Amino acid sequence: MRKKRVYQILARSGLINSKKEAESLIKEGKIKAGSRRINSLNYFINPKKELLKIKDKVVIPRKEKIYLLFNKLKGVETKKQEISRFLDFEDSIKKTIFPVGRLDKDSEGLLILTNDGNLTDKILNPKRKLEKIYLIKTKNELREDDMNKLRGGINIQMEERGLVHKYKTLPCKINKIGFNNYEMRIIEGKKRQIRRMMKSVGNEVITLKRIGIGKLRLDKIKDGYYKKVELREIIDAISC
């Protein structure tokens, strides 16, 4: 059996609420593999050879895989604790479900929720270049020259680990669909990327809604609601 990270097993168990809680348990020496104390969530173990325990209680990962398409509301943070209040599952199952990728607090729209860590790796792998589709309303009208700059890739200010640096975005697609309204398609997902791109052409995002990931579409899912889907639907949708 392939070895698994300690946090991967804990996240699927339904016994913890967050990574922060798991880190606290690690510091308190309450997580063990067999009789050995674990001092890192990134530690790998073979679950068939070493039983992972929390406070001497054996951790059993749930085998049921859940796949949801969720319409995130504006003002809701992309955190497991925030998202879980919208889910109609028993608490032990809610604790295993997490969002794949992110949407900033001021944005809304399509999120994939799951308890399948392998799917997360497939979706977030940058080599896949998965297209994401957004509807955007801007403060001012974008000139054709601005849109051409965005289409070709534009320098934005990025902040990582407290350091600010320039990053050139990959080419994207953007088209006007109404007064100050645009459809934008990108194949990467840097933090607040679209907002930073608009700022680089002297504009500002008023509303931002993601309506598609690969071939998956938000369609008629109401705000704050979700739709259960099968793994094959997601695999087919991201294999484009």
CATH class (in words) of the domain with range 67-126+215-238:
alpha beta
pLDDT digits (tens, 9 = 90+) for 156-214: 988 877 788 899 999 999 999 999 999 999 999 888 999 999 999 999 999 999 999 99
Residue 144 has pLDDT above 80, yes or no: yes
Fold assignment, 4-58: 3.10.290
Asked whether 29 and 15 are in contact (CB, 8 A), the reply is no
Best CATH choice for the domain 131-213 from the list 3.30.1490.100, 3.10.150.10, 3.20.20.80, 3.30.70.1560: 3.30.70.1560
Answer whether 172's CB lies under 8 Å from 187's CB: yes
Q: What is the pTM of this model?
A: 0.76
Residue spans of the domains in the chain: they are 4-58, 67-126+215-238, 131-213
pLDDT digits (tens, 9 = 90+) for 12-32: 776 777 788 889 998 999 999
Q: State residue 68's pLDDT score.
A: 96
Q: Give the full edge-to-edge strand order of the sheet including 31-33.
A: 36-37, 31-33, 52-54, 57-58
* Cα gap 111→100, rounded to integer Å: 7
Domains 4-58 and 67-126+215-238 share a fold: no
Task: Encode pLDDT of 199-224 as tens digits.
Answer: 999 999 999 999 999 999 998 999 99
Residue 61: per-residue pLDDT = 65
Angle at 209 between CA 204 and CA 210, to 5 degrees: 125
Helices (H), the chain: 6-11, 19-27, 80-84, 91-94, 117-124, 144-152, 193-200, 231-238
Residue 1, pLDDT > 60, answer no
